[in-house]
Amino acid sequence: MPEGTGAPRDGVATGITHRTMDAATETMTARIAELELRLRIANARSSANLAMASAFRGEHPDSPLLGDSGERFRCGDRKTRSRRVWEDAFDRALRTAGIADPLAHRTS
What does the pLDDT look like over 6-60, one tens digit per residue? 555 555 556 678 888 899 999 999 999 999 999 999 999 999 999 999 999 999 9
Task: Flag whether pLDDT at 100 surpasses 90.
Answer: yes
In this prediction, residue 17 carries a pLDDT of 85
In 3D space, the residue among 48, 46, 108 whose CA is nearest the CA of residue 79 turns out to be 108
Decide: helix, strand or coil at residue 42.
helix
Whether 96 is in a domain gets the answer yes
- Structurally, the chain folds into a number of domains equal to 2
d(CA 91, CA 106): 9
User: 78 is in which domain, residue-wise?
Assistant: 62-108
Residues 38, 69 within the same domain: no
In this prediction, residue 13 carries a pLDDT of 58
d(CA 92, CA 98): 10
d(CA 50, CA 76): 22
Whether 6 is in a domain gets the answer no
Residues 93, 67 within the same domain: yes
Whether 5 is in a domain gets the answer no
